[in-house]
Amino acid sequence: MNTPLLLVQIPPKDNQQSQATSAIIETEIIAIAVYGKDIGVPLAVSIQRVFDAEKPFRFPTEITQGVTKTRIVYRYTLAQWHELLEVTTLPTTPAALKQLMIPMLLYMKQNFPDIFNDIEYDREFGPEQYAELIPME
């Protein structure tokens, strides 16, 4: 594993469609960055760590079976993700954060275009550096 994995859990679409637009913005999205033993967790990422052990994330250990790993958990509402992604995908953002946040932004733009399409990101940061994003159910 040369780049971290980014596991993202979004509520099922049928749950989102039944909610009013104002309620959708409060939908909670969980992302877990997984770093293998050959990739240390960069300081810029470790200081962004958020963990809430009250709600379990269905973590597929078979994806990283046999790998020494460090997990960084991000748990935010869509409104909070919007605010976070606005500032962590800029050219001045540390590369370790852009590695996680740019693929997350692109994923959010795809799934919630009305909320995230207004955010620009550092297009000079090459896609080969992006974390591998895996959507989870």
Model pLDDT, residue 59:
45
The residue with tokens 């971290």 is 4
- Say if residue 103's pLDDT is above 90: yes
> pLDDT tens across 35-79, in order?
766 655 554 444 444 334 444 444 444 444 554 456 677 888 999
pLDDT band at 5 (very low <50, low <70, confident <90, very high): confident
- Say if residue 128's pLDDT is above 60: yes
Instruction: Identify the DSSP state of 53.
Output: T
Model pLDDT, residue 33:
81
Q: Which residue has the higher pLDDT, 51 or 93?
A: 93
Helices (H), the chain: 13-17, 21-24, 43-46, 78-88, 95-111, 113-116
Residue 105 to residues 94, 130, 133: CA-CA distances in angstroms? 16, 11, 11
Amino acid at 17: Q
Q: Which residue has the higher pLDDT, 97 or 56?
A: 97
The residue with tokens 């033993």 is 37
- Say if residue 86's pLDDT is above 60: yes
- Say if residue 10's pLDDT is above 80: no
Task: Using alpha carbons only, give the angle 2, 105, 70 rounded to the nearest 5 degrees.
Answer: 40
CATH fold group of domain 5-136 = Alpha-Beta Plaits (3.30.70)
